[in-house]
Amino acid sequence: MSSWTAKRFWKQALAEPCTGGFTVSLDGRAVKTPAKRALVLPTMAMAEVIAAEWDAQQGRVRPETMPATRAANSAIDNVAVNFAEVAGDLARYGETDLLCYRATSPQELIDRQADAWDPLLAWSAAALRAPLIATAGVMHIRQPEASIAKLAAQVHAFTPFQLAAVHDLIAISGSLVLALAVTRGRLSLDEAWRLSRIDETWQAELWGVDEEAEALESLKRQAMSEAARFFALCG
C-alpha cells in the first residue's frame, strides 16, 4: 500500500521491529514509502515518532504535518538511491561556505561576523582538520584541497537517514561547517540558526522586519529544527 493514502483508514499505528530495523504498521499492515519500498527505519525512537505522526492524522492525511515520515521517505526513496550524488552536492557547500564570505562594511557588521564565525572556523580547523580561508566580499576564493577533501569525507560518512537530515541543515544555513557542528554537538540548533542569520538580523535591525520575509524565516527555522530532530532520531 502507499504511505500517502488520502484519508485515514486505520485505527492504530504501531512502531515495531522488522527485518533490518524497525517499521510502522497501520492495523498490522506495514507502511511503505511513496515509491512502494519497505519503510525500514534505523531506530525504534524514529519509528515511534513516525507512528505518532500517523496516529495524529484525522480524516485527510496531511503530509506537511508529518516531517519525520517525509524525511524517512526521502532517505529511502531518494538519498539511498542517489547517495553519491546527494553527498557530493552537499560536500560542495564547503567550497563556498557562508562562514568564509564576510561583509566589507560597516565595521560593526564585520566585527559581528568575526565574533560569531571565527570560532567555528577555528573549530573546523582543529576538530575536523579542515582549515578554511575567510575573505571580505563575495568573490569566490579557492579553499585548500585537503580541507575540502576532509569535509567531503565527513559528509560521505553519514548514513542515508543522517544525510536526509543534514541536507536541510546545510541547504538552509548555507554552511557545511555549521551543519557539521550541529551533528557533532558543537552547536545547538538555536545557536546554529542564530549564527546562520547574522546578515538577515543586521538588515532587520537597520530597516525593520518585513512580514513576508519574517514568515519565510519562520518556515526555514522550523525546517532546520525538524532536520536536527530527525538527525538525533537516527541514533
pLDDT tens, per residue, the chain with 235 residues? 344 457 888 999 999 999 999 999 999 999 999 999 999 999 999 999 999 999 999 989 999 999 999 999 999 999 999 999 999 999 999 999 999 999 999 999 999 999 999 999 999 999 999 999 999 999 999 999 999 999 999 999 999 999 999 999 999 999 999 999 999 999 999 999 999 999 999 999 999 988 888 999 999 999 999 999 999 999 9
The angle formed by the CA atoms of residues 48, 50 and 53, to the nearest 5 degrees, is 110
Name the 3-class secondary structure at 138. coil
What CATH number labels 13-63?
A: 3.30.2180.10
Output the CA torsion 121→123→158→72 (10° steps): -80
Question: For residue 214, which amino acid is it?
Answer: E
Contact (CB, 8 A) for 186 and 123: yes
H helices present in the chain, as ranges: 44-55, 67-74, 83-91, 107-127, 145-156, 160-173, 176-183, 189-196, 198-207, 211-233
Q: Where in the chain is the domain with CATH 1.10.3580.10?
A: 83-233
Query: What is residue 5's predicted lDDT score, i.e. its pLDDT?
Result: 52
Where do the CATH 3.30.2180.10 domains begin and end in the chain? 13-63
Measured distance CA(185)–CA(191) in Å, rounded:
11
DSSP reduced 3-state for 29: strand
Superfamily of chain region 83-233 = ATP12 ATPase (1.10.3580.10)
Q: What is the pLDDT of residues 65-75, one digit of tens each?
A: 999 999 999 99
Is the pTM here over 0.85, yes or no?
yes
